Structures are given as structure tokens and as C-alpha cells.
């Protein structure tokens, strides 16, 4: 059972949808609600693993340079901290008692969100939904969908506005 006095966890990546999630969630949960603005970052090793291979397909894959991976990790974490602070500031402007939190993506963004919600005994999770084409949804999966099917906590999904006020 979620803790009614626990914070809400707002997944935040700095996107328009994430900004809308903060703005709309503040109206739903009310001013003064404790909120943890979570930005998840990926390891440089993960980014190095998906980098283009010099020489194309079939070429030998060079081992990652550990120092470059560490530098990329520091850069990714610094960037995530900046985004989380911006999200927390936006949340405070909308009346939430917000703190920024960054977490490294160890398995998936969804599992990272769920783990923090458990650690903080969150009363709810807030996620801004994105519109993907059917093929992109199949290929990329959906963090929102994974959280929806896994969490035992209330989940508030903020759908993107159409841009026409609906």
C-alpha cells in the first residue's frame, strides 16, 4: 500500500512532455506536495556499445577506452543533474515541495523509476507520455507501459497536449 504521506516521483527528462507532466501533476496533487524529480542517465559504456563501428558492419570492434567511458559517465551524470535541477525548479514554481534526484540506469528506465518509488515509499508516480508511431512503440518499447504493468502504486500518466488546447 502506498504511503499517503510519501512523495510523488516525477520522471523528468527535460522534454516538453515532462514539463507538462510537472505542470499538470501539481494541479492534481496540490500545492506543497513533496515531489522527487527523477532524471535517469545511461552509462557511457552503454553509449559506447551503440556507437557506430569504424569501418562499418563486419569490421573488428575496438574495445572501449575506459577513460573515455568514465569521462562520458561524468558528462552524462552532470547533464542529468542539470536537467533534474531545472525540473525541480519548475515544480517549485508550480507549488510543489520538490527535490532533484538523479539515478544511473542500471537495467532500464522503468526499473529505475520503480526502485526509487519503493525506496522513497512514494504515494504515486507521474510520467509524461509520448506519442510514438506503432512501429516505434514495438521497437523502442514504452517506459510508461512497463511502469504501468509493474507498479503497485498509483500511476499518473500525463498525455501530451494536442497543441490546440484539447
pLDDT tier at 23, thresholds 50, 70, 90:
very high
Topology classification of domain 8-158? Rossmann fold (3.40.50)
Higher pLDDT, 121 or 145: 121
Reported confidence tier of residue 142, pLDDT bands at 50, 70, 90: confident
Burial bucket for residue 27 (CB in 10 Å: 0-12, 13-18, 19+): exposed
- pLDDT of the residue at 54: 55
| Residue predicted with more confidence, 69 or 59 | 69
Give the residue, 16 or 85, on which the prediction is more confident: 85
Q: Rounded mean pLDDT of the chain?
A: 81
The answer to whether the CB of 26 falls within 8 A of the CB of 92 is no
Summarize the confidence of residues 137-164 as an average pLDDT: 74
Question: If residue 35 lies in a helix (H) or strand (E), which one and from where to where?
Answer: strand 34-41
Amino acid at each position: 500500500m502506498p504511503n499517503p504521506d510519501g512523495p510523488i516521483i516525477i520522471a523528468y527528462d527535460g522534454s516538453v512532455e515532462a514539463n507538462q507532466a510537472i505542470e499538470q501533476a501539481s494541479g492534481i496533487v496540490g500545492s506543497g506536495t513533496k515531489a522527487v524529480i527523477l532524471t535517469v542517465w545511461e552509462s557511457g559504456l552503454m553509449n559506447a556499445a551503440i556507437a557506430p563501428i569504424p569501418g562499418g558492419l563486419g569490421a573488428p570492434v575496438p574495445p572501449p577506452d575506459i577513460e573515455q567511458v568514465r569521462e562520458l559517465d561524468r558528462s552524462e551524470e552532470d547533464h542529468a543533474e542539470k536537467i533534474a535541477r531545472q525540473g525541480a525548479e519548475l515544480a517549485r514554481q508550480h507549488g510543489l515541495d520538490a527535490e532533484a534526484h538523479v539515478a544511473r540506469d542500471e537495467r532500464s528506465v522503468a526499473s529505475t523509476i520503480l526502485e526509487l518509488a519503493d525506496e522513497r515509499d512514494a504515494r504515486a508516480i507521474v510520467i509524461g507520455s509520448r506519442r510514438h508511431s506503432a512501429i516505434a512503440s514495438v521497437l523502442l518499447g514504452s517506459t510508461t507501459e512497463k511502469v504501468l504493468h509493474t507498479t503497485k502504486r498509483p500511476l499518473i500518466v500525463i498525455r501530451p497536449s494536442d497543441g490546440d488546447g484539447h
